[in-house]
Structure 1
Amino acid sequence: MFNHNYFVYITTNPNRTTYYIGVTNDLPRRLTEHFENSGKPGTFAGKYFCYNLIYFERYPSPNQAIDREKQLKGWSRSKKEALIRKQNPNLKFLNELAFE
């Protein structure tokens, strides 16, 4: 079987006031799409300018990633923020890491 990468990721807007949680098998492409859709009201991430990566996790299967995405979406904002700050204490934008 091939070794695949699936990502659960959290993006935020420039002021870090809104979070978006998603899943993808191509993180750089997905971040580019979020940036290109910024300001467009047709999508949540676009409407709220959520194109700055602040957290991600890697999984070997799509089912694991989807299950984790659903779990995170059910969490309170404070619980999500605590998780993010464990990996990224200053909520630094991590987009450059995705494009390495």
Structure 2
Amino acid sequence: MGLAVSFKLQKIIDGKAIYNYGLNFNNFEGEIEIDLSETSNSLTEDENRAKIKAILITPCNGEWSNSGLALRVVSKIYRSYIKEQKYIESGGHYAG
């Protein structure tokens, strides 16, 4: 059985984005703050990883150990941010 994780942008304050996320594209009970303002497509992948700042505010129901769902959300948002240089409005990840 696959796992679907969805997220949507709530607000941006001082370059930090607040996202809600959850399982199966219909609940958004988890909350995470992400600051990617110091990342750049001119830096190496390792340099960028060192500059990602993420705080798990509220884990969603069904979150497994080590905040696995939140990490998938951060990764998806980061990849989009590097390409577009802005926070993505919403999205999802499906692991089959």
TM-score, scaled to structure 1: 0.29
Q: Which is helix-richer, 1 or 2?
A: 1
The structure in which a higher percent of residues are strand is 2
